[in-house]
Chain A
Amino acid sequence: MSKKLLEVKNLKQYFKVGGSFFKPRYVKAVDNVSLFINKGETLGLVGESGCGKTTLGRTILRLYEPTGGQIIYDGQDITKADMLPYRRKMQIVFQDPYASLDPRMTVGDIVGEAIDIHKLAKNKKERQEIIISMLERVGLNSEHANRYPHEFSGGQRQRIGIARALAVNPEFIVCDEPVSALDVSIQAQIINMFEELQEAMGLTYLFIAHDLSVVKHISQRIGVMYLGKLVELAESNELIFHCAHPYTKSLISAIPIADPVTARSSKRIVLEGDVPSPLNPPSGCRFRTRCPYATELCAEKEPELREISPGHYTACHHFDKID
């Protein structure tokens, strides 16, 4: 029976964006999302821009204060707790390898910052040893420790970011689009490294990306988000081959397959129109304005996330009509 390492219940993250003092307007970036991640597992989270997946990842780490709901880590409610001890257990790897490293610090200091904050080394020598072992773990070496981030390529910088996250020996890592900004040939290196590290260190990942192929490769379970809502959650193969939400279906269909024969023959489901504004989401089901299966019911009543088969959840009134 696998243990739940992280659970979020009815998590809300609303950002105020203007409006008057008495009637403020909000962007409901994350709106009532519940999910859990088991220890040692990778949960993938996909969606397009504006769906809230990045906000969800950062809210879990309390980088934004949640507007509502609960975050439970290893059985403890950390929604309002002092985060410092948890910062050692929960870490994050960012998307942009160019912006996420302080350009004025050496690589060694970047990796060592966590050691300094949490006082993980007794003296300078030990600190240096930890830093070098972290660098080696991600495929760099000790002579890189004295250099500056701008001297490295994107893939190497991402490795430095991962080394920084590993320095505290965490249990749980939020991977916020860690390979999206990298070249294709480097992406595979970094993806493999994530997998190896997971095995070696027993890590649990929340893997956020917009590329479903990458997410499917690395995750055991996948959640799909749209405009702040979790619309489907299932085991990876189940999601790809037996999806139960029209949005998931169109997302899968939209991905260009790197195989000419399949690409020429596959039927494409092309959605009409654009993503609605998150300031003014449609009533009822948020996806209904672009959904080929939408009915009046969809406009009136918002579908709840329901379990339709063991481990497979969907938020759609008409999931049984999807072939």
Chain B
Amino acid sequence: MRELLLDIRNERLSFFTPAGEVKALNDVSIQLYKGDVLGIVGESGSGKSVTAYSIMQLLPQNAKIIGGTIDFNGHRINDMTEEDMRKIRGNEVSIIFQDPMTSLNPVYTIGNQIIEVIMLHTNKTRKEALERAEELLALVGINEPKKRLKQYPHELSGGMRQRVMIAIALACEPKLLIADEPTTALDVTIQAQILELMMELKEKLGMTIIMITHDLGIVARMCEKIAVMYAGKIVEYGSVDEIFYNPQHEYTKGLLRSIPRLNDKDKKKLVPIPGTPVDLLNPPAGCPFAPRCDSCMKICLREMPPYTTIKDDHFSACWLLQKKEFEQGGGKK
């Protein structure tokens, strides 16, 4: 019986800014089981980072969950106080941020920053915590761990800093690891190292991972399930093979068509998705992708499409799929 670790149901979240209400998440639901590796794919404004931060309640003051529930590891996140959240952050759920250059505090040693989280959540003494920190650095592939504990962040390269971030995230053996674009700021060869490391750690420690990225190549390699987000909504969800080889949503199809492929021998013209990303202050009434969709129908502009099941565990929110069902039903419902 698989353990349901994260259950987000119909989450709606908005940022209340001086310019107006930015509807960042519009009815997002995710079920994550222990051991899953879920990739959340989307562009800027899709809400992928916001979803992850809302699990850890790391959003700014002006962000409010206005609907839905988040259940994680037996906690109802919506109802938890800041004090309760602090107990689980770093402990049951950890996050790795995008920019390793700025996520480490420049005035503390590496050792200090790792043991900070250990001593916050466990009863270990400082000496024990330092030993554990050394273990962790070795685990993430940093050579000479004892020496590194005494070094400062500026003495390490970007790749090594990201490894330190991973070590801090794993320090208390969290049930869920959230990686928010962990390799975007790194060079390609260093990115490959970090991804290899994450794959190894997943095998070794059996972690549940949410990988947030805009890079389809990374999800193809690392993830088992993918949620494609657009304008605060999951527009398609499925296994990695289904999404890449049987995409059903026009946005997913568009993304796959528009990325240049290294392996193509002959020059195929890229098919871009026309238009610009949606303005979340003024989202359209119907499907948020409608203005950019080649197959846009009249109903797409009026109503938000419901989810259609394509296969087991493969859903998509698109009126085109509803149209098929509708037609099969004889033109009247």
Chain A positions near chain B (C-beta within 8 angstroms): 48-49, 153-156, 183-189, 191-192, 195, 210-214, 216-218, 237, 240-241, 250-260, 262-264, 268, 270-271, 274-275
Contacts and interface: CB of A to CB of B under 8 A. Distances in A.
Nearest to A154: B44
Interface stretch (B116-124, B174-182, B185-193): B185-193
A184 B43 contact: yes
B310 interface: no
B276 A260 contact: no
6 contacts: A48-B188, A48-B189, A188-B259, A212-B262, A213-B262, A256-B195
B43 A183 contact: yes
A46 B56 CA distance: 38
Contact of A256 (B157, B217, B240, B258): B217
B159 interface: yes
B260 A191 contact: yes
Given A185-B277, A254-B189, A274-B190, 14 more contacts: A191-B270, A195-B269, A211-B188, A214-B260, A218-B260, A250-B189, A256-B221, A257-B261, A257-B263, A258-B259, A259-B263, A264-B221, A274-B159, A275-B157
B167 to A, nearest CB: 17
Nearest to B185: A49
Contacts of B261: 213, 257-259
Contact of A213 (B157, B244, B259): B259
Given A257-B263, A258-B217, A274-B159, A187 B188 contact: no
Interface in B241-263: 241, 244-245, 254-256, 258-263
Interface in B196-249: 196, 214-218, 220-221, 240-241, 244-245
B271 interface: yes
B6 to A, nearest CB: 23
A184 B192 contact: no
A252 B264 CA distance: 13
B272 interface: yes
B273 interface: yes
A183 B132 CA distance: 40
Contacts of B311: none
Contacts of B263: 257, 259, 262
Given A270-B193, A274-B190, A257 B244 contact: no
A258 B187 CA distance: 18
A257 B262 contact: yes
B172 interface: no
A153 B276 CA distance: 8
B192 A270 contact: yes
Contact of B276 (A49, A155, A192, A217): A155
B241 A260 contact: yes
B330 interface: no
B133 interface: no
A91 B190 CA distance: 32
Nearest to A254: B192
B265 interface: yes
Of listed A211, A213, A214, A260, residue having the most chain B CB within 10 A: A260
Contacts of A195: 269
B267 interface: yes
B43 A255 contact: no
B59 to A, nearest CB: 22
Given A183-B43, A210-B188, A259 B220 contact: yes
A188 B270 contact: yes
A196 to B, nearest CB: 10
B18 interface: no
**5 nearest CB pairs, A to B:** A256-B217, A188-B272, A188-B258, A217-B260, A254-B192
Contacts of A189: 272-274
A108 B28 CA distance: 41
B110 interface: no
B55 interface: no
B8 interface: no
A210 B189 contact: no
Nearest to A259: B220
Given A185-B43, A185-B258, A260-B240, A255 B217 contact: yes
A183 B292 CA distance: 15
Contact of B220 (A188, A216, A257): A257
B160 interface: yes
B278 to A, nearest CB: 10
Contacts of B220: 256-260, 262-263
Interface string B111-151: 00000000000000000000000000000000000000000
Contacts of A212: 188, 262
A257 B271 contact: no
Contacts of B190: 48, 274-275
Contact of A263 (B189, B217, B245, B270): B217
Contacts of B271: 188
Given A255-B188, A271-B189, A188 B157 contact: no
A241 B220 CA distance: 22
Contacts of A213: 259-262
A216 B260 contact: yes
Contact of B270 (A183, A217, A253, A257): A217
Nearest to A252: B262
A251 B13 CA distance: 40
A254 B254 contact: no
A240 B261 CA distance: 11
Contacts of B216: 184, 258
Contacts of B189: 48, 250-251, 254, 270-271
Contacts of A185: 43, 254-255, 258, 272-273, 277
A268 B191 CA distance: 12
B258 A187 contact: yes
A183 B262 contact: no
Contacts of A264: 221
